[in-house]
Structure 1
Amino acid sequence: MPLHEKELLDALSSTRILTSMITPAVLISACGTLIFSTSGRLGRLFDRVNSMKSEVEGILAGHFTFHEERLAYIRAQLWRQRIRTILIQRALAALYTATALFVASSLAIAFNVAFGGPETSWIPTAIALLGGLFLFAASALLLYESRYNLTFINSHIDFIAFLEENCRKTGEDEQQKQ
């Protein structure tokens, strides 16, 4: 049934609309914070891949010792970085989707308060719940990525220990030859 002009103005000027829209706004803010930090992770990943490219160039130019070991190590690290990139990209996609759904739920709340009734009140809730599922999926992906990053860090530490030990042995061997 069509609303009369006065009813329309009363519906739109209701403070219930704004107060109802606050919860999705908080979730939108949470998604924004996660998007910001996840984008930073992706940037650091890009920087690390660029530094590994420089390492490969240095190895191929003969600037480093243990050529084969270094190349094998870098190949393994590049594979790990590729997987991390995929995980972060999927998390970002889920975060953007969650943000869009929370915005949609906020708008659906406003429309429902202004024009809807009890029979349509489930729509904003369903949209917000779907947004919550995407936020959960993004969080799970980021948790897995952070644990996966630990394997990268541990292998990096192990390789540094390998270099230190073998450089020390190489130095001792050269001293014995003299």
Structure 2
Amino acid sequence: MFESFSNSEILSGMITPAVLVSACASLIFSTANRLGRIFDRVNLLKSEVELLLDGKRSFHTERMIYMRHQLSVQKKRAVLIQRSMAFLYLATSLFVISSLTLAITLAFAKGYTWIPTVAAITGGICLFLASALLFYESRYNLTFINRQIEFTEFLERELQKK
């Protein structure tokens, strides 16, 4: 049945995608945490807007401009995170398919051994795209942090004027 491949070759061919599945799982976990942090930040911004609307905060105009900008950044980050997670889930599926189709094609359809390779390469491309989106999202996070620092410095300057 497996005349042209040794058991170790088959096993190593199936393990490589499993290692990539593990890498995707780690990225999915950390990306889900990032999405949770975005949710927490949006809730904090919502609370700040409510305090502004109740008249419990000073610098109403400046704070509203700041809040709108921050909410816009968080919205963009959430979209990027969601897209990257979709690519990570797709990559995971493709790596699992690659591993399974390797065993099946070697056992039953030796003429189709290109299928697991195509699945693994496509999974690698999805993993790359997810990583690129996460890199891009991290730039938005930096924008959020920098704007928060700038607004804090503004408040500090205004307090010193009083």
Taking structure 1 as the reference length, the TM-score comes to: 0.85
Distance 1:165 1:85 in 2: 32
Aligned to 2:82: 89
Aligned to 1:20: 13
Is 2:57 the counterpart of 1:60?
Answer: no
Give 1:157's match in structure 2, choosing from 135, 141, 149: 149
Distance 2:86 2:127 in 1: 10
Partner of 2:97, secondary structure, is helix
Q: Which segments of 5 or more consecutive residues in structure 2 lack a partner in the other structure?
A: none
Give 2:158's match in structure 1, choosing from 159, 162, 166: 166
Is 2:51 the counterpart of 1:43?
Answer: no
CA shift, 1:148, in A, is: 1.7
Taking structure 2 as the reference length, the TM-score comes to: 0.93
Q: Deviations over 1:59-115 (max 9, x none)?
A: 111111101110110001101110000000000000000000001001111112222
Give 2:132's match in structure 1, choosing from 126, 131, 140: 140
RMSD, matched Cα: 1.5
Aligned length: 159
Sequence identity of aligned pairs in percent?
A: 58
Aligned to 1:126: 118
Q: Which has the larger radius of gyration?
A: 1
Distance 1:88 1:15 in 2: 38
